[in-house]
Structure 1
Amino acid sequence: MAQSVFQVGGNFGSSLGPLLIAFVVLPQGQKSLAWFTLAALFGIVLLTGLGHWYKQHGQAIQKKHAAVKHTLNLSRKRIGGALAVLIMLTLSKYFYLASITSYYVFYLMQHFHTGERDAQLYLFLFLAAVAAGTVIGGPVGDRIGRKKVIWISILGVLPLTLLLPYVALPVTVALSVVIGLVIASAFSAILVYAQELLPGRVGMVSGLFFGLAFGLGGLGAAVLGALADRTSIDFVYKVCSVLPALGLLTGFLPDIHKPDVGEEAETMATVEVLAPLGSEE
């Protein structure tokens, strides 16, 4: 859940992009975006405050979490294989998301002859569903397990993605919302699963998978753009519709069951950390 809360800010912010285009940029021009640099300035102020807070309390939090680390009875080869599977699942997710976020507007305008403003609003619905799915995926993964969420969120959307290029506009919009909602729940589960594979390497794992997420998204947009130039955007959506089939690789992931004692110790550690912070406030 913590990972989902962390990610939802970026996803929700991204979802507002099409609204800015529809209601600010299209009627007033790109220069109107200059006012939104104030939001970036506000973010700098917030992060400065957060940095001072973490300097005072971060080391204590890390020590508490280090005390409740659990070890897995998995060989290096098995852990390496699981990480490779997680990387392939990340690739399938972000390549497919790149096909929507980068080319959905053009697809709607060319395939259904929608206006640019309407197409941007439909893109907002998809990105808002991605933000909602990000929030939902965390607590669901805590309850039923990361692996089950990965199964459902990637392989579960395959029938919908295969159907998407062949349906009418209302069904296309509805399917894209459901796809965004479901597929977005995967990343927090993938990331936390990888962190559990390599306990004590939270920073390294987070850097690796966030770097892959952004990098694969950019690479996917470029590759799909080149493919669209050679063929058509319709063809790109047909090709991308099979990407969630890579979710079958989830079957190669080992089952990770965190001991109940560890969970209880972690909960107690969190309470011990937050208690003095609450008293200071």
Structure 2
Amino acid sequence: MEMKTSATRPAALPEPTMYRILIVIGFVHLLNDSIQAVVPAMFPILESSMGLTFTQLGIVAFALNATASLAQPLVGWYTDQRPSPYALPIGLCFTFVGVIGLAIAPSFWFIVASVILIGIGSATFHPEGSRVANMAAGGRRGLAQSIYQVGGNGGQALAPVITALLLVPLGQIGALWFTIVAAVAIGLLVYIARWYAQQKPVIAKKKNGKIPRTQTRRKQPARKLFIFSIILLVFLVFARSWFQAGMTNFYAFHLIENYGLTIQEAQIYLFIFLAAGAVGTFCGGPLADRFGKRNVIMMSFLGAAPLTMILPHVPLFMLYPLLALIGFIIISSFAVSVIYAQDLFPGRIGMSSGLIVGLAFGMGAVGSIGLGALMDMAGITNTMIFIGALPLLGILTVFLPSDQRLERIHEEGAD
């Protein structure tokens, strides 16, 4: 009787997917990224109210993303070794202070210091947020990562609407409303941190499992392939995020100059682009499950490239559908890129997330300095033509190993 009972027990049962935790961490991701995205959304306001040049705006974007993104791999590496549940709410406290500074900043350098604080909070949140999504995923890792990442893209999409409805009427001081957003995020992260802390014994057991051993047994050719692949993946995400940064930071100026739109009207076009990207992020996971992660990454670039190249030249009535298509296609590989990186380095959730969401995405935003300088020298339209050509770099995706090849390498390493 006892043998029969044990035979029917848990070993074969998959871990449950914690949808409650996924929804909360995805919502906090939305709040965090809406705060971060409001900085570039405020650029037209700062340019007119403080007389900042495009190069100075590029420096502000660099300061934000150098801390919010480039520091993430280091945070991820550290928390892979020492999971830190309460780093989540503590990090958002920096964001809270940074938002206050942004609202009352009297000078350019005060703005830079304020966005650095916002960036520190974001750099702390993203790797640990990705780890929480992975812990809560159960057997549905792709879906969990999509829920988590779509929150961030949704937050970015809200920023232009908030700018049009709130910041344009109130000006720079209107950013103070985001202290409420930051406070709500801190409260929710305290709840997440308590749940996370209860999972730490489980994490410790998993660290003694098969994945780290598999990594140490990789043969030299396989190790070289994985290193080459992660470098190439980081470069591809850099190209995609450079395009996205160019759109979110500077496309509004193209709309204002070439189509005669107001700041409020230009923000609606950015919302269309980013909202479609959020939908694409959510759909990317299921598409990758069906067609393969590498294939979805490839098509997100090459499918969007013809559309991005004609974008600076089309009449106004075509912009809504064109921006929606571009946003959906090119951002559909956002969550997929993170999962692909985690497949390259299993067991390194924080570092993989930091490399893709942080380093690669941040490098694209760092390119905002170059785009700002190019815009000052060559003009807005020529800069948008250059930005529209960036997705062509997606042709390099053919050099990434297919999903099937990655599986075979992992199986050989586990033998």
Range class of TM-score, shorter chain: 0.7 to 0.9
Report what 2:234 is aligned to: 87
1:131-280 → structure 2 map (5 Å cutoff):
131-257=278-404
Q: Deviations over 1:29-53 (max 9, x none)?
A: 3323313311111111111111111
CA distance in 1, matches of 2:367, 2:159: 20
Return the offset for 1:119: 0.8
Equivalent pair of 1:109/1:119 in contact (CA under 8 Å): yes
Q: Does 1:12 align with 2:12?
A: no
Which of 39, 45, 60 is the matching residue for 2:187? 45
Give 5+ residue unaligned stretches, structure 1.
Answer: 263-281
CA distance in 1, matches of 2:274, 2:316: 17
Q: Secondary structure at the match of 1:114?
A: coil
CA distance in 1, matches of 2:333, 2:208: 26
Moved more, 194-203 or 209-218: 209-218
Aligned-residue sequence identity (percent) comes to 41
Report what 1:275 is aligned to: none
Moved more, 142-151 or 53-62: 53-62
Which of 90, 102, 122 is the matching residue for 2:269? 122
TM-score, L = length of structure 2: 0.59
CA distance in 2, matches of 1:134, 1:155: 17
Equivalent pair of 1:90/1:212 in contact (CA under 8 Å): no
Aligned length: 261
Return the offset for 1:59: 3.7
Return the offset for 1:173: 3.0
**CA 1:142–1:68: 2 relative to 1, 3 Å:** farther
CA distance in 1, matches of 2:230, 2:352: 10
Return the offset for 1:85: 1.4
Q: Does 1:100 align with 2:247?
A: yes
Equivalent pair of 1:162/1:241 in contact (CA under 8 Å): yes
CA distance in 2, matches of 1:128, 1:232: 28
What amino acid does structure 1 have at the position aligned with 2:384?
Answer: Y
CA distance in 2, matches of 1:44, 1:227: 39
Give 5+ residue unaligned stretches, structure 2.
Answer: 1-142, 411-415
Moved more, 23-32 or 87-96: 23-32
Report what 1:268 is aligned to: none
Equivalent pair of 2:238/2:362 in contact (CA under 8 Å): no
CA distance in 1, matches of 2:284, 2:201: 29
TM-score, L = length of structure 1: 0.85
Return the offset for 1:27: 2.0
Equivalent pair of 1:94/1:220 in contact (CA under 8 Å): no
What amino acid does structure 2 have at the position aligned with 1:118?
Answer: E
Moved more, 152-161 or 212-221: 212-221
**CA 1:187–1:64: 2 relative to 1, 3 Å:** same
What amino acid does structure 1 have at the position aligned with 2:162?
Answer: L
Return the offset for 1:107: 0.5
Report what 1:279 is aligned to: none
Larger RCO (alpha carbons 8 Å, 6+ apart)? 1
Q: Secondary structure at the match of 2:312?
A: helix
Equivalent pair of 1:137/1:149 in contact (CA under 8 Å): yes
CA distance in 2, matches of 1:211, 1:254: 22
Equivalent pair of 1:88/1:246 in contact (CA under 8 Å): no
Equivalent pair of 2:305/2:389 in contact (CA under 8 Å): yes
Q: CA RMSD in A?
A: 2.2
CA distance in 1, matches of 2:392, 2:177: 43
Return the offset for 1:195: 1.1
**CA 1:3–1:62: 2 relative to 1, 3 Å:** farther
Q: Does 1:55 align with 2:171?
A: no
Which of 18, 22, 25 is the matching residue for 2:164? 22
CA distance in 2, matches of 1:85, 1:62: 32
Return the offset for 1:66: 7.1
Equivalent pair of 1:66/1:200 in contact (CA under 8 Å): no
CA distance in 1, matches of 2:150, 2:369: 25
Moved more, 230-239 or 34-43: 34-43
Return the offset for 1:67: 4.8
Moved more, 133-142 or 29-38: 29-38
Equivalent pair of 1:8/1:135 in contact (CA under 8 Å): yes
Return the offset for 1:143: 2.3
Return the offset for 1:61: 5.3
What amino acid does structure 2 have at the position aligned with 1:96?
Answer: F
What amino acid does structure 2 have at the position aligned with 1:2?
Answer: A
